[in-house]
Amino acid sequence: MLLGGCGLLFQNHEKRADATLQPTGGNGATGTVTFIERADGVQVSYNLSGMPPNSEHALQIHERGDCIIPASSDGGPVFAPASERSDSGSKVEGDLASIRADANGTATGFIVAPDVSLDGVRSVLSRAIVLHRDTADGYAMVPHGAGPALACGVIRQ
**Predicted local confidence at residue 129, as pLDDT:** 95
Q: Does 83 map to a domain? A: yes
Q: Does 32 map to a domain? A: yes
Of all residues in the chain, the percent with pLDDT exceeding 70 is 75
Q: Is the pLDDT of residue 20 over 90?
A: yes
Q: 132 near 24, Cβ under 8 Å? A: no
| Alpha helices for the chain (secondary structure H) | 2-9
- Total structural domains in the chain? 1
What are the tens digits of pLDDT across the range 61-116?
998 898 875 544 546 788 887 754 545 556 778 889 899 999 999 999 999 999 89
CA-nearest of 3, 41, 49, 58 to 22 is 49
Q: Does 19 map to a domain? A: yes
Q: pLDDT category, 141, cuts 50, 70, 90?
A: very low
Read off the CATH number of the domain in which 87 is found. Answer: 2.60.40.200
**Predicted local confidence at residue 94, as pLDDT:** 86
Q: Does 62 map to a domain? A: yes
Q: Does 7 map to a domain? A: no
Q: 13 near 32, Cβ under 8 Å? A: no
User: Which structural domain range is residue 76 located in?
Assistant: 12-154
Q: Does 6 map to a domain? A: no
Beta-ladder partners of 130: 60, 152
- Long-range contacts of range 134-141, CB-CB < 8 Å, 24 or more positions apart? 134/56, 134/57, 134/58, 135/56, 135/57, 135/58, 135/98, 136/58, 136/60, 136/95, 136/98, 137/98, 139/58, 140/88, 140/89, 140/90, 140/91, 141/88
**Predicted local confidence at residue 8, as pLDDT:** 52
Q: Is the pLDDT of residue 2 over 60?
A: no
Q: Does 5 map to a domain? A: no
Q: Does 3 map to a domain? A: no
Q: 96 near 61, Cβ under 8 Å? A: yes
Order the strands of the 16-23 sheet from edge to edge: 95-100, 56-62, 128-132, 149-154, 16-23, 30-38, 41-49, 107-113
**Average model confidence (pLDDT) for the chain?**
83
**Predicted local confidence at residue 117, as pLDDT:** 94
